[in-house]
Structure 1
Amino acid sequence: MERQSDMQESQSLNLEAREEPLSRADRRRSLIAVIACITVVGIGLGSSIPLLALLMERRQIPALLIGLNTAMPAIATFMLTPFIPRLLRRVPVIPFLLACVAVSALAMPCYYIFQNVWLWFPIRFVNGLAITGLFVVSEFWVNSLADEKNRGKLMGLYGTILSCGFAAGPALLYLAGADGALPFLLIGSLVLAGGVPLLIFGRGLAPSIKEKPSHGFLTFLLVAPAATLAGLIYGATETNIFNMLPIYALRSGMGEQAAAFVLTIFAAGNIAFQFPIGLIADRIDRRAVLLVCAAGGFLGILAIPFTTFSMPLFALVLFVFGGVVVGLYTVGLTLLGQRFRGADLAAANAAFVMMYSTGALVGPPLSGFAMDLWNPHGLIVAMGSLCGIYLIVAGWRYAKASPEAQGAL
């Protein structure tokens, strides 16, 4: 299956569609441009999120208000993602990404200049719009570069490097500190630097969209339910792990240091498994890989309560669980890229990010309610139920599709 060959070529940022396929060298330059851009932005995002949370906690902002403020990017995602394919028909990809980089970078000093927490709500909303644009379009770009021999590998590489960027964010914050204007200026400058690879490596090499999507935004849930819903399940799982699992660990008798360390273990599994899963997805039926990741996630969640008595065993299970469940994101995106092209691919990527945000919003409240009903194992019931339902959906789609129906998820 050949990659869509309509690419942008230009000598300025007003790029015209290019007719010939990219050479191997141009593909490499294009991939470097988009991955370098989103990784630098990821480092900035990975440091800005804890910075804002820390400063609000210092000022004794009520937890409810902190939570509502943290939810603003997700709200922005819901509002922007349906319109991204339409925007990309009017604005070329690189100018669009550069505008998003600039907006996100300028938001950082605004947090410092405007200290009133109520002003942080619109700032964070606008920043969320920019971040949403960056992630949806960068994933669309990487998927557009891939062919069926290397699609899983490229998506795994993208996810691995991005995860490393997020992991480096807290280290940057540790070095810069949380006092004064320095961290805001440093993070803003770093995000702004994300535009440099686009200008150096990406000009004339970004994908373009000329046509309208043939599917409505939400119809991807019906057209490719298992691939699209993979984003929702991973969004709920990842957000629950980072928000609720430390609480579960404490209530299960672990110390505070061990409870904090669980996040590092889960993130390490994310980083270690994405690329190998992508390679496997290029060699065997991707539907089967997605099904195995769903089954592994379900069994991993059920195993957690039986390992809390031993930190090494708990760490091993969580590491493998974090690595397998991230395959839902990697393989889900890979399957969408396998099935869709052009405007449909952009719309499918947008729907996938929308599902991820839905899971991130729904997951923690659902798990918190379950933990109140059954302390602490309600978390396992809630997460296991979500993964179990998804496992049924993925298994049904796998059983229904014929061996020749690649991408039928």
Structure 2
Amino acid sequence: MFASLGSVLSLMLSTLLMMVGFGLQSYVLPVRSVAEHWSTLSISWFATGYTIGFTLSCFVTSRLISRVGHVRVFTALITLLSVAVLLCGLVVDWRAWIVFRFISGFAISGSYLVIESWLNERVTNDNRGMLFSLYLITTMVGTIGGQYLVPLGDPTNTSLFILCGIIFSLSLLPTALTASPLPAAPSKVRFNIVGLYRRSPAAVVCGFLAGALSGAWLNLGGVYTQKTGLSTAEGATLLAALLAGSSIAQIPIGRASDRMDRRIVMVGCGIFGVIACIAMVLVTGSEPSVRYVVAALVGAVIFPIYGLNVAHANDLAAPTDYVEVSSGMMITYGMGTISGPLMVAPAMDTFGPSALFMVLAVYFALYGGYAAWRISQRHAADGLVAKTDFQPSPMPQPGLDPAGTLQQAAGDADMVPDDTAPRPASP
């Protein structure tokens, strides 16, 4: 175990530092946006630029790695991350931020392709659970830690932007100086979303809705905290509470889906999400501690549901199709993240910040309702192979691979995964 950990220690340290920068960037930008009195719709436009860059990177980065290798691509992408966040501090204009955030989305999504394909080459069936659990903890701790750096500085000047650029640059050092063997370059990946939809409509449609849910929250959640009167420290705690709820709920949701038709669990998560979002609307303006608890309940379903979609898609696939299925699901999720902020922002401008959770409740209702309709259309036993085991995944966010699909996309598209350890959703 210790030998396996040592082989990825530098990779984990780079991931931790990158996620600290990611958490800081993800919170300081909406705080600065509110301080500049930009409309929520304007904020949604540069958020959408970010998610478009993230989705495009799914197609492009694996080809770059094939040409020049993991370390060189990772170095280039982290450099772009640093440049993009520094430019946001220097040029404070939401129109310019659309371009800067596009660059950030492309770079951080590609960085995770590098990290996760590298990590995937180091795991075996014996240490998979331990290493990916460590990976999950690393991403969550880094993100939360970065968010708590915002109250220590002044978002209205360049100090926090500079700090973020420094942290991103430091994340290069562990992997650049590692003595561990480098992973092999990936082969070309196939994408067939139409075929994926024909095989598993529930997985594709619900995957899109899961992307819309997470894209809306991750890009506008910080705006919600600022416009509802929370301090930066209280806002960071609310964001952390939602992530904590997500992490705690992943295993019970996954285990439940292993024991019954996953679509039934999707319906249950949709209903739970509607109730939690309505509760969040009702407690807006209440004591922060009450809002933390309700936010954790929203987090319990807003992120783990994507793992259900990927697991369900793989239940209906042959082992030789796992890579193609997972790659298609990643693109579907990315398309959803693009739409989420654009749909939510007008509602927030018209009805106030709590409208964020009103729209999220609608998305959850669509998610559960479509899964329920699909149950009436196809029997649960119509899959091609036996049900695969659900594995917990880190909280998905634009730029972070929500179900380990990027690491599969970086692998050989023709390889057949070990049947004893299928990869419907890696942690």
TM-score, normalisation: structure 2 = 0.68
Query: Is the 8 Å Cα contact of residues 46 and 99 (structure 2) preserved in structure 1?
Result: no
State whether structure 2 residue 277 is matched by structure 1 residue 301.
Answer: no
TM-score, normalisation: structure 1 = 0.71
Offset, 1:232: 3.1
The one-letter code matched in structure 2 to 1:47 is: L
> Structure 1, residues 199-254: CA drift from partner, whole Å, max 9, x if none?
34474143531x33355466555566666666533332234445778999999xxx
Structure 2 unaligned residues grouped into runs of 5+: 389-421
Query: Is the 8 Å Cα contact of residues 54 and 109 (structure 2) preserved in structure 1?
Result: yes
State whether structure 2 residue 366 is matched by structure 1 residue 386.
Answer: yes
State whether structure 2 residue 213 is matched by structure 1 residue 233.
Answer: no
State whether structure 2 residue 51 is matched by structure 1 residue 71.
Answer: no
CA distance in 2, matches of 1:124, 1:147: 36
Query: Is the 8 Å Cα contact of residues 153 and 279 (structure 1) preserved in structure 2?
Result: no
Which runs of structure 2 are paired with 1:4-403 in the superposition (5 Å)?
27-115=4-92, 117-147=94-124, 151=128, 154-201=131-178, 203-209=180-186, 211-216=187-192, 219-222=195-198, 231-241=207-217, 256-257=229-230, 264=237, 267-271=240-244, 274=247, 277=250, 286=258, 288=260, 291=263, 294-304=266-276, 305=278, 308=282, 316=293, 318-330=295-307, 345=323, 350-366=327-343, 379=359, 382-389=362-369, 391-392=371-372, 398-401=380-383
The one-letter code matched in structure 1 to 2:244 is: I
CA distance in 1, matches of 2:170, 2:313: 30
The 3 A distance-change label for structure 1 pair 160 and 146 is same
The 3 A distance-change label for structure 1 pair 408 and 243 is closer
Query: Is the 8 Å Cα contact of residues 278 and 330 (structure 1) preserved in structure 2?
Result: no
Offset, 1:130: 0.8
Structure 1 unaligned residues grouped into runs of 5+: 1-23
CA distance in 1, matches of 2:221, 2:163: 31
The 3 A distance-change label for structure 1 pair 327 and 169 is same
CA distance in 2, matches of 1:190, 1:293: 39
* Corresponding residue number in structure 1 for 2:394: none
Matched residue of 1:178: which SS? coil
Offset, 1:190: 0.3
The 3 A distance-change label for structure 1 pair 94 and 121 is same
The one-letter code matched in structure 2 to 1:233 is: L
The 3 A distance-change label for structure 1 pair 84 and 317 is same
Offset, 1:133: 0.6
> Structure 1, residues 147-194: CA drift from partner, whole Å, max 9, x if none?
456656654543343133222222212213225443222111101111
CA distance in 2, matches of 1:247, 1:178: 13
The one-letter code matched in structure 1 to 2:44 is: G
CA distance in 1, matches of 2:423, 2:69: 30
The 3 A distance-change label for structure 1 pair 386 and 97 is farther
> Structure 1, residues 105-145: CA drift from partner, whole Å, max 9, x if none?
12233334445554433333222221121133334444444
Task: Give RMSD over aligned pairs.
Answer: 4.7
The 3 A distance-change label for structure 1 pair 175 and 353 is farther
Aligned-pair identity (%): 19
Query: Is the 8 Å Cα contact of residues 221 and 239 (structure 2) preserved in structure 1?
Result: no
